[in-house]
Structure 1
Amino acid sequence: MADRTLPQVSGERLDLGKLGHALTVAFPGVKVVVAHNRYREAIPSGENVIVDTEIAQLTAAGIEVLPFQRASDSIGDLPLAQKALLPLSPIYGRAAQRDLSELLQRERPDLLHLHNPYPLLSPWVVRTAHEHGVPVVQTVHNYRQVCSSGLYFRDGHNCHDCRGKAFGWPAVVHKCYRGSAAQSALMATTLAVHRPTWKSVDRYIALTGRIAAHLRDYGIPDERIVIKPNGLPDPGEPAPLGDGFLYAARLSPEKGLELLLDAWRRHPDGSLGPLRIAGDGELRPLAEQAAAERDDVTYLGALDRTGMEAARDQASVVVAVPTWNDVLPTVILEAMAAGRPVLGTDVGGIPYLLGIDESAQVAGWVVKPDAETLAAALPIARVDAAAVAPNARTRYLQAFHPDVVTRRLIDVYTSLTENSHPAPR
């Protein structure tokens, strides 16, 4: 286990009121198209939350935001002609390009900010924007410039088999995209076709240093990469700590539910307080089985935002233990904003989020993703939760409050609109 001795914090906080006032006059009269293919609402998406938050914050800062969004939930309602072309949408997306062209011609925005293009928008929106002379910023939320699943993870382990290849045949062989060889071949083709598209993006926003390294490995020069994390709305002063642990995630193999339950079962029933599990997915039977076997495990099912807030208030520690290189788990941002320390695995962006080796306000603990070290960490986290909780809130205020990250996002926009040096087309 990574042993972290956490200092007490002074209680000093940012003057958020002054910073918020500065933002309201920072960038008036500018139009930004925010393009995003929304993930299905039935499966909670941190990325959807982040996009909505950024739109609200940019609007408050005086920027005219033009949302250009499509929803995966709408696929079932598409006309038959569009459904027939749906398999090609990740490559081109004819309807999206037509609608975007009309928007760009009508509104003449200063730039386009892209988040997720799949499946209905397509990376082709970058080319469409450039055809109209509009520079493009993209926030990179995963590894899908290279990896068909976007995770660098398959069959229970981290995987980089497609990195450096002109065509991702391993993704087809292993059916990495939606468990289908045909759909994996289509996504691998999309990634191959759009390699020049991605290399034409004018500015990339990498959520962490590891994403920046991924982009450099892909061939993106440093001068087109900016590291800027996500932020979340401030929920206000934290509620008093509850008891026990909350695990809230999509119940899929890479999110670490099996790892957590293995570690939890190494302790007598009731010795750690309650473990509450929230979420849904293919591993739901594991959560239900654990709740049936032990009195100290409760499966809450899929929760809406209000339910999640209530579950978080009941806990003293939030557990985030993915086994893949999770980029920037929103559940950790939400925990820190609510003054809950986090017990996480030492993967992806989690050490950065918690301030490990970067901040005096270390917001939790990180361990190797194996059951033995996680089991050893659980009682330590329970005992030390009250001492670490103020650090979690301070870490959020200083690094991830929307006023902080929105100022940095505006700086990215300004660098493109005031000193425009578009990337080579």
Structure 2
Amino acid sequence: MRIVVAHNRYREAQPSGENTIVDAEIAQLSAAGVEVLPFLRSSDEIPAMSKPAKALLPISPIWAPKAQHDLDRLLTEHRPDVLHLHNPYPLLSPWVVRTAHKRGVPVVQTVHNYRQVCSSGLYFRDGVICQDCRGRALGVPAIVHRCYRGSRAQSALMATTLAVHRPTWKSVDRYIALTTAVADHLRDYGIPDERIVVKPNAVPDPGTPAPPGDGFLFMGRLSPEKGLDLLLNAWRRHPVGSLGPLRIAGDGELRPLAEAAAADRPDVVYLGQLDRPGVRAALAGSAVVLATSTWHDVLPTVIIEALASGRPVLGTALGGIPYLVGADDPREPAGTGPAEVATAAPGDGHVSLPRGVQRGEAGWVVAPDPEALAAALPVARAGAATLAPAARTRYERTFHPDVVTKRLIDIYADVAGSRR
């Protein structure tokens, strides 16, 4: 099987989980015997472009002529079975779908964000969830609020791109939704069920998990939508030391908030930006991983890393987080009592849950509210040891590279067969 993987890489100065996933997926496919033809561009190329090329940049999200020429030549020469598209902006443009179809090549796209509808791709603006552009032919609110790169002109260009390419997106042969929440987003956009499959990303197997550590780990980009402020608000509602340590790893605009919390309380530790050995050590030293996003986070890779390391997750009930921890089809109903701290014997994973706390296969989800999160923290600490084996099992069954790569190859085969 021969597959073209098309992706516009994000700038290296802005760490991107999407870049990492695409690189890993190419390696996993190649190891499985698939012939992969990477068709990659990088936003880091822009500063070195010639003046004529830079002059065409404003229209490249709508139509990138050089990319279409190069792709057409690649398709003609190698006659691949499928083109697999990830991010098309700004140097590829959605027009690659039309170029592939012109050559009779079916297209699969992995949906990493909400940019079929939302110019920023996040459904998040000014610190809160925003879906003002849903159902609109043209995303005027995105232009008014400068949602794309803080620029009204660039927001107008992106909103126009989304409007122009609505028929393009409707022509994609198969969409890969990373979670059930993304599948719902695509249905809302008008994509029929038969063209949507749910297939998450994978992370490499770190091996047999270490015994559970103590306390909690928050790891990720320190930006408002990741919910660090929400977490610290909830954490401060408990006496110092009562929950064990809270470790915060990562960097970003909210770094001063993490540093101030660590200076204020001895049970908060700021680890900074970690390399891979540092990530493994932080996971090994903790009992529960936190994913307290305040936006509809599509697929936080940190959760899959936690499950691979046998660490259950406490997250907000937004985006793909319930799916990842197995709480979109919960094993236990949400608590019905008052939002107060539950008591439990150590290691008891079946405690009486506070209102709004929902237990899934490999963790818990809760409303993005400080009081609800504060009530869930001791529940997660008490149940961490019980859910640790289930966390690893969920990884092996759903997110292991062997499982995910086989699923992806099956999708390619089905799409290629249907197209023929």
1:322 aligns with 2:276: no
**Partner of 1:373 in structure 2?**
372
- How far did residue 371 of structure 1 move? 0.4
Q: Tell me the distance in 2 between the aligned counterparts of 1:137 and 1:309.
A: 33
- How far did residue 306 of structure 1 move? 2.9
Cα distance change, pair 300–89 in 1 and its aligned pair in 2 (3 A): farther
The Cα offsets for residues 286-307 of structure 1, whole Å up to 9 and x where unpaired, read as 1122122222222222223332
Question: Contact 1:139–1:205 at 8 Å: present in 2 too?
Answer: yes
Structure 1 segment 353-368 matched on structure 2, within 5 A: 353-356=324-327, 358=329, 362-368=361-367
1:417 aligns with 2:416: yes
**Partner of 1:172 in structure 2?**
143
**Partner of 1:38 in structure 2?**
9
Task: Select which of 200, 206, 210 maps to 1:239.
Answer: 210
1:96 aligns with 2:70: no
- How far did residue 357 of structure 1 move? 5.5
State the identity as a percent. Answer: 73
**Partner of 2:387 in structure 1?**
388
- How far did residue 337 of structure 1 move? 0.6
Aligned residues: 392
1:126 aligns with 2:107: no
Q: Tell me the distance in 2 between the aligned counterparts of 1:333 and 1:42.
A: 24
1:274 aligns with 2:235: no
* Structure 2 stretches lacking a partner, 5+ long: 332-359
The Cα offsets for residues 8-39 of structure 1, whole Å up to 9 and x where unpaired, read as xxxxxxxxxxxxxxxxxxxxxx1100111122
Question: Contact 1:33–1:109 at 8 Å: present in 2 too?
Answer: yes
**Partner of 1:212 in structure 2?**
183
**Partner of 1:23 in structure 2?**
none
The Cα offsets for residues 40-90 of structure 1, whole Å up to 9 and x where unpaired, read as 333332222221222122112211001111222332333333223222221
Q: Tell me the distance in 2 between the aligned counterparts of 1:350 and 1:207.
A: 11
Greater than 4 Å deviation, 4+ residue runs = none
CA-based RMSD:
1.7
Task: Select which of 19, 30, 50 maps to 1:48.
Answer: 19
TM-score, normalization by structure 1:
0.88
- How far did residue 270 of structure 1 move? 2.2
1:111 aligns with 2:82: yes
Partner AA of 1:414 in structure 2:
A
**Partner of 2:33 in structure 1?**
62
The Cα offsets for residues 326-357 of structure 1, whole Å up to 9 and x where unpaired, read as 11111101110111111101111111111125
- How far did residue 404 of structure 1 move? 1.3
Which protein, 1 or 2, shows the higher relative CO under an 8 Å CA cutoff with sep ≥ 6?
Answer: 1
**Partner of 2:127 in structure 1?**
156
**Partner of 1:260 in structure 2?**
231
* Structure 1 stretches lacking a partner, 5+ long: 1-29
**Farther-moved stretch of structure 1 (321-330 vs 266-275):** 266-275
SS at match of 1:161: coil
The Cα offsets for residues 218-263 of structure 1, whole Å up to 9 and x where unpaired, read as 1212221112222222111112222221111211111111100111
SS at match of 2:109: strand
Q: Tell me the distance in 2 between the aligned counterparts of 1:304 and 1:127.
A: 40
**Partner of 1:12 in structure 2?**
none
**Partner of 1:147 in structure 2?**
118
Q: Tell me the distance in 1 between the aligned counterparts of 2:140 and 2:324.
A: 34
Task: Select which of 59, 82, 86 maps to 2:57.
Answer: 86
SS at match of 1:113: strand
Q: Tell me the distance in 2 between the aligned counterparts of 1:348 and 1:357.
A: 10
Partner AA of 2:84 in structure 1:
H
Task: Select which of 195, 202, 212 maps to 2:173.
Answer: 202
Cα distance change, pair 84–291 in 1 and its aligned pair in 2 (3 A): farther
